[in-house]
Amino acid sequence: MGGCLNDLNWVMSSGFLGMRFYDLPNFFICVLFVLLGCKAFRVKPAVQFVLLLHCLVPFFLNEFLFSTGYLGDQFRYWRQFNAIRAGELSLLEAWVNGGNVEQAAALFSLMPLPLAVSPISLGFFNTLLWTALFFWLHQKRVFTPVSLWFFLLYPSMALYTGLSLRDTFIFVFMSMAVQYAREGRWLPLLAVFVPLYVIKFQNFFIIAPVLVIYLLFGIRHSGVSLARGILTMIVGVVALVVVSPIALPLINVFRAAMYAEDGGDGDQLKLIEGPGEFVAEGLTSGIYFLLKPFPWETAGFLQLIQAAENLVVFGLLVLIVRAAWRRVPKKLIFWLLFMAFALSIYGLVVFNYGTAARYRYPFIVIFVLFVCADCQVRSLFKPFAPAHWRVGYRRNPKPSGDGSPLS
């Protein structure tokens, strides 16, 4: 594997502008894709402008906002990608016998972009992938004006979809899985589950059982009543108590591993002891995972910005939930249960603030996208959607360009 990688190491000494110069082909391909997609779907100029700005994001992250070494995994994806493209590692071997890095690199290698000269290059691959998801969701008529602008302007998503990491693949597979479940399409859903399980089994085990229940019990049509939602929460608490003798040792092992991975001393970590503490931690960890770091917990400018973003996003989530409750509360209850389940699991084991932002953004975006779609949230301040939109969207959908929020 050495020859190909040694040949690429020269780019690291080519300076700030030099590294970016060699990524201009990737940048222009992303721009061309945006322009062609916007023309095909007749996207509004304002939306097109923001999509084009996203194409610039990879230029202004590594060695600009922070050192590339801050997220050192980017080097690993970059090296394995080039090993596959150079024929030093076969695509099949990477997918079947490789770890998460090799498997994600295999997916990157299938994308129609020419090269990854530096560790920032795969950020353009992710930008292209994120843009493709945008157009796919548009074609599926998932967006409302609220979710559209959240999708375009959510800073954490712009950050992590502009880096050379596997997170964009995870987010795309999760979003596709939810949409296929909403459509009741089992085969595409199962097909998307396969790569999600391979590259991020934790997210698979969170989202797969939820979507299977969503389909089997007809929740996609009828939603969940308030009484059943409360009953589900009670059953969940009882289940935590029942499984705590088995689950607690495993949870503590994962907590210690994540704590050590984030640079902490495992001996200083307070382990969860007893069912009562397990239940209390499970109920509160999700809210803390959503909001951390609080402003008084920050250390440095970037964490302060993250804390401010968390508060703004939380405020938007409250407004979205309020609007959704006024429209289709039964469907909102399902997504609230999904969100509580997902965030609580990660809240139990994730300590690092940056890791928390990286892991939670897919769940937040999915929540906003599909709450707005299922509950017809087109405005945060009007109690009811216009009658003509409700009828047109449900019974007589028009092609994009006639009533789409993008047109």
CA distance 31 to 58: 13
Residue range 366-395, pLDDT digits in tens: 999 999 999 999 999 865 544 444 433 344
CB 126 within 8 A of CB 168: yes
pLDDT band at 9 (very low <50, low <70, confident <90, very high): low
Mean residue pLDDT of the chain comes to: 86
Most confident of 124-128, 198-202, 257-261: 124-128
Mean pLDDT, range 290-317, rounded to an integer: 92
**How many other CB atoms are there within 10 angstroms of residue 69's CB atom?**
11
| Residue 87: exposure state from Cβ atoms within 10 A (0-12, 13-18, ≥19) | exposed
CA distance 333 to 77: 39
CA distance 226 to 217: 16
**pLDDT of residue 397 exceeding 70:** no
Q: Which residue has the higher pLDDT, 355 or 389?
A: 355
Residue 78: enclosing H or E segment and its boundaries? helix 73-85
CA distance 148 to 396: 21
Task: Read off the amino acid at residue 308.
Answer: A
Residue range 262-271, pLDDT digits in tens: 666 656 677 7
Dihedral sign for Cα atoms in the order 168, 100, 361, 326: positive
Token pair in block for residue 165: 């990491």
**pLDDT of residue 250 exceeding 70:** yes
Mean pLDDT, range 305-331, rounded to an integer: 95
Which residues, listed in sequence order, are joined to residue 62 by a DSSP beta bridge?
Answer: 66
How is the chain split into domains, by residue range?
Answer: 2-164, 223-375
Residue 6 has what pLDDT?
A: 47
Residue range 158-196, pLDDT digits in tens: 999 999 999 999 999 999 999 999 999 999 999 999 999
